[in-house]
Amino acid sequence: MIDAAELIDNDFLRQFELKIDDQLAKIEYSLQDRKIFLTKLIIPECINSEGFEEDFLKLVFENIQERNISVVPTSPEIAKFIRRNRRYKKMLPVGIRI
């Protein structure tokens, strides 16, 4: 389901978007000084199937990693994702612990 979808970085609304079956999953962010603050994760109930959140976050983190930007998770769900996926811990700025 997520494979056919395209991740969009809507910098006007400051959110990553993934459209699935006319539903929009999104992560709101704030970008400051080569750091991206991931502030809110919104996934509609009807598309939040097993593993969707994990796959969506992996897409977003891969996009951020390509841009060589540090990640500051301010959303509990995103912090939990980083704890479960240790390979993304290196994306945290110096001094930030999860």
Query: Tens of pLDDT along 28-73?
Result: 999 998 999 999 999 998 887 778 999 999 999 999 999 999 999 9
Other Cβ atoms less than 10 A from the Cβ of 67: the count is 10
CATH superfamily entry for domain 7-91: Gcn5-related N-acetyltransferase (GNAT) (3.40.630.30)
Other Cβ atoms less than 10 A from the Cβ of 50: the count is 6
Listing DSSP states for 77-97 in one string gives HHHHHHHH-GGGGGGSPTT--
CA neighbor of 81 nearest in space, from 97, 64, 58, 65:
58
Say what the pLDDT of residue 28 is: 97
Say what the pLDDT of residue 1 is: 55
Q: For 28, phi and psi rounded to 5 degrees?
A: -80, 145
Structure tokens at 45: 């109930």
Strand partners, 29: 38
Secondary structure (3-state) at 61 = helix
How much is the pTM? 0.90
Q: Where are the domains of the chain?
A: 7-91
